[in-house]
Structure 1
Amino acid sequence: MSPLSNSCITLLDPPNGPYKRPTYSHIASISSPARLIYTAGQVGTLPDGTMVQEFEAQAKQAFINLKVALEAAGASVRDIVKLTYYIVDLEANIDAFRMVYVDFLTDEEGIHKAPSTLLSVARLARRDWLVEVEAVAAVRDLESKL
């Protein structure tokens, strides 16, 4: 499979490497000049600070919050080069999570297969948080003097 390129990002899988996954790539390469963006962990809080209660709603809101954070930094979902997911009670919540994150990463061009890591955790910083998502993104830096 040929690498997918978007701005300064190339997503690919090694030809003789591990099994190719339908929802993520094993490698993201960033060409210079680029500006890197790191988000804090995003959880399922609404803009007024209230927390949605059930897992699927928290996951959807966490991804909405992630998109808002990326846009505030001048990036989009297609600019993501690495995602990290933290999920409480993974066994009970993995199917709902997969549906939500595939929907978040899919647009008219298909699924954006940024490398990702999913961690099952006993709990997050607050007991009512069930999912947390963080991202690293890269955007072309046209003002760079490199």
Structure 2
Amino acid sequence: MPHTRLRKFNTRDTYPDQALDNDLCQAVVANGTVYLRGQVGTDFDGNLVGRDDPAAQTDQAMRNVETLLTEAGARLEDIVKITIFITRREDREPVYRTVGKWLKGVYPVSTGLMVAGLAKEEWLMEIDVIAVIPQED
């Protein structure tokens, strides 16, 4: 199989208050590249960390990123691209400061977007990550 899919789930479980039925996963590894689902301030059991606290939500999202990359055979240092979605302009600094702590010395390319909202109202930010698994010599 050319792609490895990690932590499969269905949206009817993730969003029980919405009429959804989509088969998704948290990460896909394809040809040495890791594509992560957008990560938010919830743990993998669906518990929100840091209600109305953008730094705490970002810290949880980055913990999720680190866990998923490890499961895929990569590390934070292997991140090449991040996209950050923020719902409130005043949260930009705490979100970026927190991401910066996690990615100090990594130097990925980055895109930041202000958005009207995310899938759940309590989510203040979301980070989308692409990483490349290092090749063994």
TM-score under structure 1 length normalisation: 0.67
| Partner residue in 2 for 1:128 | 122
Write out per-residue CA displacement over residues 19-50 of structure 1, whole angstroms, 9 at most, x where no aligned residue: xxxxxxxxxxxxxxx61110000011024321
**Where do residues 78-117 of structure 1 align in structure 2 (5 Å cutoff)?**
78-90=77-89, 92-106=90-104, 111-117=105-111
| Partner residue in 2 for 1:118 | 112
Write out per-residue CA displacement over residues 64-105 of structure 1, whole angstroms, 9 at most, x where no aligned residue: 111111111000011111111111112x11111121011010
| Partner residue in 2 for 1:70 | 69
Gaps (5+ residues) in structure 1?
1-33
Say which one has the larger Rg: 1
2:123 and 2:83 map into 1 onto residues whose CA distance is 16
Q: Percent identity?
A: 34
Amino acid at match of 2:102: F
Partners of 2:74 and 2:134 within 8 A in 1: no
Q: What root-mean-square deviation, in Å, do the aligned CA atoms of Structure 1 and Structure 2 show?
A: 1.6
1:104 and 1:40 map into 2 onto residues whose CA distance is 18
| Pair 1:43-2:40 in alignment | yes
**Aligned-residue offset at 1:139:** 1.4
| Partner residue in 1 for 2:54 | 55
Other structure's SS at 1:46 match:
coil
1:78 and 1:136 map into 2 onto residues whose CA distance is 11
**Where do residues 9-20 of structure 1 align in structure 2 (5 Å cutoff)?**
none
Other structure's SS at 2:83 match:
strand
Q: How many residues align?
A: 105
TM-score under structure 2 length normalisation: 0.71
4+ residue stretches of structure 1 with deviation over 6 A? none
